[in-house]
Structure 1
Amino acid sequence: MNVFQILPELNSGGVERGTVEFGRELVRRGHASTVVSAGGRQVARLEAEGSEHIQLPVHRKSLLSLQWVRPLRRLLVERKPDIVHVRSRVPAWLAWLAWRNMPAQARPHLVSTFHGMYSVNAYSAVMARGERIIAISAAVRDYIIENYPGADPETIRLIHRGVDAAEFCHGFMPSPQWREAFFQANPGLVNKRLLLMPGRLSRWKGQLDFIALMAELRRRGIVDIHGLVVGSSDGAKQQYERELRTAVQAGGLQDSVSFLGHRNDMKELYAIADIVYNLSNRPEPFGRTVTEALSIGTPVIAYDRGGPAEVLRDCFPPGLADPATLATVTMDVLSQAPAIALKQHYLLSTQVAKTIATYEELL
């Protein structure tokens, strides 16, 4: 098959990383993989792993982006993909407008993935216009059925986002060189139990809850712990980062919480952490960090809502919490972490197989 994936950019983020991984897996199975985006730091990896990248500014939420409908249609006519797979709303609009005016017998099949619980309006409704609609969790599938009456439930396929078990392998240990460099750069973390809070610095992601948790654990006499906040604060989110740092200072937690910024060594950080957290204050569609950490064998604690709760109910029920029980659940897991059993349907190999099967239905 000749598969085009279209998304805004290829920088950080779960959708972007998943697109790159899926492109690699398509190539491994003998298919042609092309990604259309505005570019970004992951383009080099994408191309090194065998996919082609075509740079178009399909990321801007502006009516001016409509000027790219015709160039995109010409691209589809010239390159003749079998599948066009859209992963975000602006690119989905551009792709759908280009696609719908192609002759029916000559146009590719259109697939969309709901990577989020999008706002319910005409702008988001384009994600329900694919010939097949992929929901990345049961929570997202139910959201689509409840809020998008134009989406035929028969076209929806539940395909969980999969973790690469070869990369995030169970029992992985960082190299001695990595450990030495990391703890030399962060000497205050030596001999501490590490609590890891990964995710973009955004208010809804729950970093303030994590800082409050660190304060509560100290109040309960748990002093051999250190919190690691991992994630960047691009653009408008810089004010939120300042708010987080102020909260750390106000709680007297300067020696108990560190901000590590954007990192490219998440696998190593999962491996040295005693617990990984997902504390989003609204339902998340999935939560990639949850399956990555569980795959390595590190316990995860998340609020009992949305996609992360779905994963924990399947694979690590003791990690389910709410704001009132967060500290108690943390202490229980620190005292004796129960066994983790990551189910087959959360693996990348399963995701790839189910997605290719969805393509083949259409072909």
Structure 2
Amino acid sequence: MRILFLNPVGVLGGAERALLDLMACLRQLDAGLSLQLIAGTEGALLDEARALGVDARLLPLPERLSSLGDSGLRGRGPKEAWNLARSLAPTGVLLASYGRTLRREVARLRPDLLHSNGIKTHLLSPFTVGLPVKRVWHVHDFLSERPLVRVALGAQSPLASAAIANSHAVGEDARAVLGKVPIHVASNGVDVERFSPGAGHRADLDALAGLPPAPEGTLRVGLVATYARWKGHDVFLEAAAWLSRQAPTLEVRFYLVGAPLYRTPGSQFTEDELRRLIGHHQLTGRVGLVPFQADPSAVYRALDVFVHASTRREPFGLTIAEALACATPSIVSRASGAAEALTNGVDAWLIEPGDAPLLATTLRTLLSDSALRARLGEAGRKTAEARFSRERYAREVLTVYRSLLST
């Protein structure tokens, strides 16, 4: 079985880390698989895929195409959508040129199955029409919230042999957009051996953030995410300020771990914006900005509490599974897809998205009770092993592949 993965970017966001875990486990499950990858931009995804033995190559996506996106139209009206659609009109020639190049590459590689891992690559499906290949769209987003994408993918849905959704919520949403396309739910997985508690390396968060060493006994709270505006960095900082006022003697430091990874303009905080927010909340010296970490497992082990603070519903939230696997006590937005597998107060503390006072109150409870943190961490690890292992994830995806190629 020859599988060709298509990914719009080469940077390592959540969808890309999930893809790497999938490719690693597919090789273990079936040594006869031939795995290939095409990415639209340079980045660590290509290098890490090659290290797994995947034939990975760059097919450069023009800058104008790689920076396109309608995610900023969530909740906006038809006028904004129409204005964006008009602005996209000149990209048609670029898209057609790139699509023809992609078609030639796919024809040369002769895969049995195309696994498209992002919206931009789903939209390139028409350029592979006529080639003897099955097409699987891996859906990592709520398509109905993307006004232009919703229409475009709905129109192209007959080209998809099947779709894989990374949570039940995403699956239900995809069914409403993609009509008759078979939708299979396979929650993302992580390497529960790499992401594990215990004696593994713990990151020196203060050194990474350029802060002086914290006093002995200081508790550490962190948000690990790209700088996307909906990831809740502003809510996290507001909660940190609230907690600092309400419990001034509590020795705690806060960390924002990540970077602005994507190219869509206006969709992310800049580092300067975050530093201004830190100053505005009078948190200078209490909040550290830690750059993107290729191995976040060491970050989770260094935290006393992990916070997932996304302000809108999130398709999955891979950092949640990673933190749980490391037995890090976690506060999780109920709006995340990963929360479908969690029980409030048992393996994580679930809160409503965007509620900074509630987040601060929950943090104060957890930081004041080491026994509660230990119980949550232990139960979270068990949930990660049972529900979020990458082996389970890969088995479910391989089952979809085999069902398509047997028909």
Q: Aligned equivalents of 1:25 and 1:227: distance in 2?
A: 35
1:245 counterpart = 2:278: no
Aligned to 1:152: 180
Q: SS of the counterpart of 1:356? A: helix
Quick one: higher RCO (CA 8 Å, sep 6+), 1 or 2?
A: 2
CA change 1:292–1:315 in 2 (3 A) is: farther
1:101 counterpart = 2:103: no
Q: How does 1:21-170 map to 2 (within 5 A)?
A: 21-28=21-28, 29-30=30-31, 31-38=33-40, 39-58=42-61, 60=65, 61=68, 62-63=91-92, 64-94=94-124, 96-102=125-131, 107-118=132-143, 119-120=146-147, 121-125=150-154, 126=156, 129-145=159-175, 147-148=176-177, 150-152=178-180, 155-170=182-197
Q: Aligned equivalents of 2:164 and 2:121: distance in 1?
A: 16
Which segment is superposed worse, 21-30 or 134-143?
21-30
User: 1:112–1:128: 8 Å Cα contact kept in structure 2?
Assistant: no
Q: Aligned equivalents of 2:158 and 2:222: distance in 1?
A: 35
1:194 counterpart = 2:220: yes
Q: Which amino acid aligns with 1:329?
A: T
Q: How does 1:210-225 map to 2 (within 5 A)?
A: 210-221=236-247, 223-225=250-252
Q: SS of the counterpart of 2:99? A: helix
User: 1:299–1:316: 8 Å Cα contact kept in structure 2?
Assistant: no
- Shift of residue 319 of structure 1? 1.1
Q: SS of the counterpart of 2:173? A: helix
Q: Which runs of 5+ in 1 are unaligned?
A: none
User: 1:112–1:127: 8 Å Cα contact kept in structure 2?
Assistant: no
- Shift of residue 203 of structure 1? 1.8
Normalised TM-score (structure 2): 0.80
> Percent identity between the aligned chains?
23
Aligned to 1:342: 383
Q: SS of the counterpart of 1:264? A: coil
Q: Which amino acid aligns with 1:34?
A: Q
Which segment is superposed worse, 29-38 or 51-60?
51-60
- Shift of residue 53 of structure 1? 1.2
Q: Which amino acid aligns with 2:137?
A: S
Q: Aligned equivalents of 2:103 and 2:316: distance in 1?
A: 32
CA change 1:357–1:303 in 2 (3 A) is: same
Q: Aligned equivalents of 2:222 and 2:158: distance in 1?
A: 35
Large movers: runs of 4+ above 6 Å: none
Aligned to 1:265: 295
Aligned to 1:326: 359
Q: SS of the counterpart of 2:241? A: helix
- Shift of residue 239 of structure 1? 6.0
Cα deviation, 1:116-174, whole Å, max 9, x if unaligned, reads 113143234346842111110011112123x31x4226x11110000111211243531
Q: Aligned equivalents of 2:220 and 2:228: distance in 1?
A: 22
Please provide the CA RMSD for this pair.
2.5
CA change 1:251–1:77 in 2 (3 A) is: closer
Q: Aligned equivalents of 2:162 and 2:344: distance in 1?
A: 26
Q: SS of the counterpart of 2:127? A: helix
User: 1:58–1:90: 8 Å Cα contact kept in structure 2?
Assistant: no
Q: Aligned equivalents of 1:86 and 1:131: distance in 2?
A: 11
- Shift of residue 360 of structure 1? 0.4
Aligned to 2:77: none
Q: Which amino acid aligns with 1:23?
A: M
- Shift of residue 199 of structure 1? 0.8
Q: Aligned equivalents of 1:293 and 1:90: distance in 2?
A: 29
Which segment is superposed worse, 254-263 or 37-46?
37-46
Count of matched residue pairs: 353
Which segment is superposed worse, 349-358 or 126-135?
126-135
Q: Which amino acid aligns with 2:38?
A: V
Q: Which runs of 5+ in 2 are unaligned?
A: 69-90
CA change 1:97–1:305 in 2 (3 A) is: same
User: 2:341–2:387: 8 Å Cα contact kept in structure 1?
Assistant: no
Normalised TM-score (structure 1): 0.89
Q: SS of the counterpart of 1:313? A: coil
